[in-house]
Amino acid sequence: MNIAFYAPLKSPDHPVPSGDRLMARQLMAALELAGHRVSLVSEFRAFLSSAEDDGKGRQAMADAEIERIAGLWQASDLWQTSGPPDAFICYHPYYKAPDLIGPVLCRRFGLAYFTIETSYSHRRNIGEWARAQACVLDGARLAAANICITGRDHDGLRQAAPEVRLARLFPFIDAAPYLALSPAAEAGRLVTVAMMRPGDKLSSYRALATALGLIRDRSWRLSVIGDGPERAAVEAAFAEAGIAERIDFLGQKTADEIALLLSTASLYVWPGHGEAYGLAYLEAQAAGLPVVAEAVAGVPEAISDGETGLLTAPGDAKAYAEAIAALLGDVARRKALSQSARQMIGERRSIAAAAAQLDTILKSAIGERA
């Protein structure tokens, strides 16, 4: 199929790295691997930071973008060669970044509409966000399939609109760069990969610092890969926990550098506050790293507790510290978790597995729509 792809929160070509940008790129790659032709139809960012904003400027820009795209699809030279696509896929529409262009274009041109990772929460029905949520539900109802990456999103959509068509796609990564390296764990080497942003990221860094401060008697060092506007606050958290001298801040790294660093560590540690699922968890497991995280938000979608890592109760610093200490002192269990983690990623969470899942979902939905 000829597929138009759109991500209203952050374009796959956005200059700032994030999990959202990475997943958008991976989805496009998976669709192409399945044999489809995928084009980024727009880089219009629909993000709205405040419920008090009236959204008029955003809607005006969306209307202009709709006409721009429609004009391209209707141009005689394009119409004869490719014309409108067969399907339109929107990645991650939610209350702060609804899809303001896809449903309009699909209705105008009679295209199949799909969403991936649509999120809906009743508690966000305030101000402009309430209008945005109505837009999100309108798109979900139009969609030939709403492809859910987490159980939370699946259940939230089903509760809000029981009639919507749902499908599941498990979180995945391009595992090849990680599986290509043989694990060579340095004893006591912990690692985490995360941007230093306010909110959930900073909360996780503080929780990690508190937990590690409780096991200062153990032999370990932590490599931190990432940077951001809260760098000073992150450093302060480790200093307050009395462990600043045991933290190696490595800054931002390339994907290849991250793969190599992961392959030389013993454990991946990141609480995961507010994570939708956490692609970095999948990357760590592909590199053969057992993960220690909290059973919070969408984290359990990425980690199999007791099989590929350990999950502890949300907000329990003592339990989190004890889980890290237990694995630091148990080489045999770390090795078993490492092997299971790599096997799980290679068999069930690779881009090839996702390509097959997506292809089945799209063809089934298109067939039902015909």
The Cα 179–Cα 132 span in angstroms is 41
Q: What is the pLDDT of residues 33-44, one digit of tens each?
A: 999 999 999 999
Q: Tell me what the pLDDT averaged over the chain comes to.
A: 93
Taking residues 202-210, what's their average pLDDT? 98
**CA-based nearest residue to 7, from 22, 341, 347:** 22
The larger pLDDT score, comparing residue 183 to residue 313, is at: 313
Look at residue 247 and give its three-state secondary structure.
strand
Are residues 149 and 116 in contact, defined by beta-carbon separation less than 8 angstroms? yes
The contacts found for 281-285 with CB under 8 angstroms, 24 or more apart, are: 281/309, 282/171, 282/172, 282/173, 282/175, 282/345, 282/349, 283/173, 283/178, 283/193, 283/258, 283/259, 284/191, 284/193, 284/341, 285/309, 285/341, 285/342, 285/344, 285/345
CB-based burial of residue 76 (10 Å sphere; 0-12 exposed, 13-18 middle, 19+ buried)?
A: exposed
Q: In the prediction, which pLDDT does 76 show?
A: 54
Angle at 60 between CA 55 and CA 65, to 5 degrees: 125
Question: What are the start-end ranges of the H helices in 2-126?
Answer: 19-33, 56-74, 76-81, 102-109
Domains of the chain by start residue, with CATH: 2-172+350-369 (3.40.50.2000), 176-348 (3.40.50.2000)
Backbone φ, ψ for residue 159 (5° rounding): -70, -40
Q: What is the mean pLDDT of residues 13-17?
A: 89
Tokens of 234: 């992150």
Question: Phi and psi dihedrals of 98, rounded to 5?
Answer: -75, 160
pLDDT digits over 315-338, tens only?
Answer: 999 999 999 999 999 999 999 999
Q: Which of 65, 64, 82 is nearest to 73 (CA)?
A: 82
In 3D space, the residue among 193, 190, 152 whose CA is nearest the CA of residue 282 turns out to be: 193
Q: Give, as one character, the DSSP assignment of residue 291.
A: E
Contacts of 20 (CB under 8 A, 6+ apart): 7, 9, 10, 92
pLDDT of residue 139: 97
Q: What is the pLDDT of residue 246?
A: 98
Rounded Cα distance, 151 and 356, in Å: 20
Structure tokens at 154: 């699946």
Contact by Cβ (8 Å): 310, 340: no
Where do we find the tokens 């199999």?
A: 304
Enumerate helices (H) and strands (E) in the chain, giving the number of each: 14, 12
Beta strands at 309-312 and 291-294: parallel, antiparallel or unpaired: parallel
pLDDT digits (tens, 9 = 90+) for 48-94: 877 667 778 889 999 999 999 999 898 755 544 566 899 999 999 99
Expressed in percent and rounded to 5, the helix, strand and coil fractions of the chain are 50, 15, 35
Mean predicted confidence (pLDDT) in 170-188: 92
pTM, full prediction: 0.85
pLDDT score of 83:
67
List, for residues 249-307, the tens digit of each pLDDT value.
999 999 899 999 999 999 999 999 999 889 999 999 999 999 999 999 899 999 999 99
> According to the model, what pLDDT value does residue 49 have?
79
